[in-house]
Amino acid sequence: MIRRTLVMLAAVCLSLNYAHAQLTATNGVNDAYIDVSWNLAQACFEDAGNNNEAYPEGVYLELFADGVSIYVEVIDDFIPMSVSNTFRHLVGPGRTVNYSLMLYIQGAGEEVTAMNCSSLSASGST
C-alpha cells in the first residue's frame, strides 16, 4: 500500500513539474483590455545538458502583440520551478490581437526548445 502511494505521488509530482507550456488570451470578456496568461513548465527553465540545473544567467521571456514587444521579464531563479503570470493588455474596443511568447537562454541568446516552451501563440479580442 505504501509503495503504491509513493508511486502515485511521484507520478503526480512529475505531471506537475513537466506539464506543457501554454499561452491563452481572453475573448470578448471586456471592451477595453485582453488578459494574456501563460503557464510554463519547470522544464522550460532547466538546462537538460547540465543535469537539469537552472540556466546560469536565467531565461529571457518576451511577449509580443501583433509582432510588437509589449512585455519582457528575466527569470533567473536559482531553483527552477514552473512560472504562471498574466498581463493585462489595454487595447480598446473592437480589437483582435495575435500574441506570441518567446523564451531565450539569457547570455547565449538561444531559444528555449525544451517541451515546446517557446514560440507559443494565442489570439484575443475585446
Q: Which domain holds residue 54?
A: 20-125
What is the pLDDT confidence band of residue 9, given thresholds at 50, 70 and 90?
very low
Cα(14)–Cα(41) distance, integer angstroms: 11
13 domain residue, yes or no: no
Please indicate, yes or no, if residue 95 is contained in any of the structural domains.
Answer: yes
Q: Is residue 15 part of a domain?
A: no
Residue 83 has pLDDT above 50, yes or no: yes
- 79 touches 41 (CB < 8 A): no
* Residue 99 within any structural domain of the chain: yes
- In-domain check, residue 116: yes
Instruction: Answer whether residue 81 shows pLDDT above 60.
Output: yes
For the segment 100-121, what is each residue's pLDDT rounded down to a tens digit? 999 999 988 999 988 789 999 9
- pLDDT higher than threshold 70 for residue 12: no
- The domain that holds 86 is classified in CATH as 2.60.40.10
| Domain-embedded: residue 3 | no
What is the pLDDT averaged over residues 8-32? 71
Q: What is the pTM of this model?
A: 0.82
